[in-house]
Amino acid sequence: MSLSYQTCTKCGRTLKETEFFKMKTGGRYELCKDCLCQYIDNRKPETFKWILEAFDVPYIEKKWMQMTNDKYKKDPGKFGPKSVIGTYLRTMNMTQYKDLHYEDSDDVNQLPAERKAIDVPTDEEYEQRLLDQLNSGVITETQYNTLTRTNTKTPSNIDENGFLIGLEDAKPTEDQPSEPQEQAPQYQFDSSYWTDQLDDSDIDYLMLKWGTMYTPEQ
């Protein structure tokens, strides 16, 4: 098997083509790996993002930092400028990334809250979708009854007083009276104070709003 060679346009050395990174468009980059990577600081994106742009692969911050940390933990003594870039470029050629370009970097790195909001269906659309899923068998009737927003009936196992049917011992009876609750201290209301503070227009307003059946204390 014959070996192919390429000359680096920076250092002038003629090296095996494997010493040059493959380009996405075919062929290999004009600078050898040593020259291309010599100023990379794996924790400073400004030192390598221009390379990713030249290779037209996205800068996926989370993936890059994960690889950086993994490489460093594996062998801190050998961690250097070429530790991440080669693995990262190969990863970007995998199926899930191959259709992404450098210009997609900003979109990929956006936090979920920063991404375009998803259209929230209206109540009518939501209910119709649920009904369609029920009719097509995607969800059960129980799921439908649980998820629908139009069914606000009290569950059948709850009585009008809010007690679970069948748990008779949970509600007080004549034979089992509920424990008396400690009454709050009575507040002595001085109605003369408030009547002195209110003029005729205030009293008319309150009577109009609340009616005439309430005492000053109420």
Residue 120 confidence (pLDDT) above 70: no
Q: What is the mean pLDDT of residues 168-188?
A: 53
Which has more confidence, 172 or 91?
Answer: 91
Question: Would you say 97 and 63 are in contact if contact means Cβ atoms under 8 Å apart?
Answer: no
- 3 state DSSP class of 50: helix
> Tokens 């748990």 appear where?
167
pLDDT of residue 154: 47
Mean pLDDT of 118-142: 78
pLDDT at 36 over 80: yes
Alpha carbon dihedral 147, 153, 155, 157, in 10-degree steps, equals -160
pTM above 0.75, yes or no: no
Residue range 99-115, pLDDT digits in tens: 999 999 999 888 555 44
Burial of 145 from C-beta contacts in 10 A (0-12 / 13-18 / 19+): middle
Cα–Cα distance, 158 to 155 (Å, whole number): 6
- The secondary structure of 60-85 as a DSSP string is -HHHHHHHHHHHHHH-GGG--TTTTH
> Using alpha carbons only, what angle is made at residue 177 by residues 175 and 183, rounded to the nearest 5 degrees?
165
Residue 191 has pLDDT above 80, yes or no: no
pLDDT of amino acid 117: 47
What are the distances in angstroms from CA 209 to CA 92, 93, 102? 70, 72, 66
Contact (Cβ atoms closer than 8 angstroms) between residue 36 and residue 6: no
Per residue in 39-64, pLDDT (tens digit) is: 999 999 999 999 999 999 999 999 99
